[in-house]
Amino acid sequence: MPDLFRDILKSSESLFKNEVALDPEFVPKLIQFRENENQYIATCIKPLFQKRNGKNLIIHGPPGVGKTLATKNVLKELEEETDDITPVYVNCWKKNTTYQVVLELCKAIDYKFIQNKRTDELISIIVERLNKKSSVLVFDEIDKIQELDILYNLSESLYRKTIILLTNESNWLFRLDSRLKSRLIPDQLEFKPYSLTETKEILKQRISQAFPPNTINENSLNKITENTFKQRDIRTGLFLLKESAEIAESNSSKKIEMQHVEEAVKRVIFSDTEKLDEEEKQVLEFIKTNMEKTTGEMAKLYEETHKKSKRTFQRKLNNLQKSNLIKLDETESPRGRSFRVKPLTEF
Ligand SMILES: Nc1ncnc2c1ncn2[C@@H]1O[C@H](COP(=O)(O)OP(=O)(O)OP(=O)(O)O)[C@@H](O)[C@H]1O
Ligand SMILES: [Mg+2]
């Protein structure tokens, strides 16, 4: 083996016990702080156990607050509990046409003879099969679906079911076609972001699954928790933990120290900036190194160093403001209106 790789392998002793535990798709052992929500979902499904029709439900809330996790867990428990209810899960972001959703439904009922069949034929088969039992159908990211006809179909033709729709948009239901609304008549359940303490507990649990004991100290954990809480998305915390650990590893450290976390926090901001175009990213970088200047001074310097007009700079600055990455604060200046850049996320 060449020396180069021998050295890399030697230095790459892993900090992780189980890195997969930091994957957003990983199902944690415990789902904390969602007992009420779980209970609510169970109540909607309960009539199915008595061979009656269930209640439909719309679950809404911002990203990363456990909507998918909680509903998938309900389906899993259902599967373990009874054979009389068919659990179905479809992610409508990944499968957003009627035909793709129908294929997912076929998979869920284990129906394989899909070749040369039209969508409506397949729907009839699905309905017939599902009607032999009760069913709980979860449509995750429902706002991403292109056509709603499959929902019409299922809400009308299934006798005993609970349809659960998941979305980030709290007003999705209001925008819904009234014919569908009057067929579904769903209950509504909101998942609110976790508090600071809840965020910390959830991250601690993941840490205990991902790392050996004492890999991360209290201060570093608090720093990660605060940043996660600010974004209100548990995924941010998972990402920060993974990044910090990788940075620690590349520094041959056996523990995650504050400086590794700080470095990782900077990278999260970059991942936030993925939506920006090249020049906006460039302007953001430029701002970071010129924070002490007013926007007017920045524009002038940018013009000199990057050969771009002040107006272009101003336009990019406005876009960064719209993306909630910076805020422009008016400051005192002898030469009229002047602004300073205030970072909204950590620089
Ligand atoms: N109460 C909890 N206990 C343990 N882990 C949690 C909890 N809530 C969320 N998580 C974790 O946070 C991450 C995001 O959760 P989830 O995917 O359920 O979010 P979501 O609300 O469906 O977000 P989106 O709207 O973006 O789909 C997952 O890795 C999940 O395991
Ligand atoms: Mg989700």
Segments in the chain forming alpha helices (H): 3-11, 35-49, 67-81, 98-108, 119-130, 149-157, 172-175, 178-184, 196-210, 218-231, 234-250, 258-272, 278-288, 295-306, 310-322
pLDDT tens digits, 156-196: 999 999 999 999 888 788 778 888 888 999 999 999 999 99
Q: How do strand 326-331 and strand 338-343 relate by DSSP bridges?
A: antiparallel
Give how far Cα 346 sits from Cα of 95, 269, 325, Å: 36, 7, 9
Question: Is the confidence at residue 207, as pLDDT, over 80?
Answer: yes
Taking residue 329's Cβ as centre, other Cβ atoms within 10 Å add up to: 11
pLDDT(347) > 60: no
Is pLDDT of 344 > 80?
Answer: no
- Least confident piece of the model among 16-25, 110-119, 278-287, 329-338: 329-338
By most ligand atoms within 8 Å of CB, the mutation choice from 22, 36, 38, 69 for ligand 1 is 69
Write out the residues surrounding ion ligand 2, Cβ under 5 A: 68
Instruction: Take atom 4 of ligand 1 and give the residue whose Cα is closest.
Output: 31
Counting atoms of ligand 1 from 1, which one is nearest the CA of 33? 1
Q: How far apart are CA 78 and CA 136, in angstroms?
A: 9
Q: Residue 110 — pLDDT band, cuts 50, 70, 90?
A: very high
Q: For residue 203, how far is its CA from the centre of ligand 2 (angstroms)? A: 18
Structure tokens at 325: 């990455």
Is 95 a pocket residue for ligand 1 (Cβ < 6 Å)?
no
| Averaged pLDDT of the chain | 90
pLDDT, position 9? 53
Q: What is the pLDDT of residue 322?
A: 73
β-bridge pairing 187-190 and 57-60: parallel
Q: Which residues, other chains included, contact 77 with Cβ-Cβ below 8 Å and sequence gap of 6+?
A: none
**Furthest-apart CA pair in the chain: how many Å?**
79
- 35-190 and 276-343: same fold? no
Closest CA to 194 of 161, 169, 221, 228: 228
Give the residue extent of every domain in the chain: 3-23+195-273, 35-190, 276-343
Nearest to 250 by CA among 268, 235, 263: 263
Please work out whether the CB of residue 28 comes within 6 Å of at least one atom of ligand 1.
yes
Give, in words, the CATH class of 35-190.
Answer: alpha beta
Q: Model pTM?
A: 0.78
Q: Is the pLDDT of residue 112 over 80?
A: yes
Instruction: State residue 345's pLDDT score.
Output: 62
DSSP string, 115-130: TT--HHHHHHHHHHHH
What topology does CATH give the domain 3-23+195-273?
Helicase, Ruva Protein; domain 3 (1.10.8)
Q: How far apart are CA 132 and CA 143, in angstroms?
A: 29
Check: CB of residue 286 under 8 Å from CB of residue 306. Answer: yes
* Protein residue closest via CA to atom 14 of ligand 1: 64
**How far away, in angstroms, is 65 Cα from ligand 1 center?**
5
The closest alpha carbon to 62, from 142, 145, 167, belongs to 167
* Residue with CA closest to ligand 1 atom 3: 31
Q: How many angstroms is it from 249 CA to the middle of ligand 1? A: 27
As a whole number of angstroms, the distance between CA 325 and CA 317 comes to: 10
3 pLDDT tier (thresholds 50, 70, 90): low
Task: Give distance in angstroms: CA of 168 to centre of ligand 2.
Answer: 9
What DSSP assignment string belongs to 255-323? SB-HHHHHHHHHHHHHHHGGGS-HHHHHHHHHHHTTTTSBHHHHHHHHHHHH---HHHHHHHHHHHHHT
Distance CA 244, CA 298 (A): 32
Is any ligand 1 atom within 6 A of the Cβ of residue 68? yes
Residue 235 Cβ inside 6 Å of ligand 1? The answer reads yes
The structural architecture, per CATH, of the domain 276-343 is Orthogonal Bundle (1.10)
- Interval 249-270 mean pLDDT: 89
User: 66 alpha carbon to ligand 1 midpoint, in Å?
Assistant: 3
Q: Is 169 close to ligand 1, i.e. is its CB under 6 Å away? A: no
Residue with tokens 């002047």: 338
> What local confidence, expressed as pLDDT, does residue 346 receive?
54
Smallest Cα–Cα separation from 169: which of 69, 72, 62? 62
Quick check: 104 and 92 in contact, CB under 8 A? no
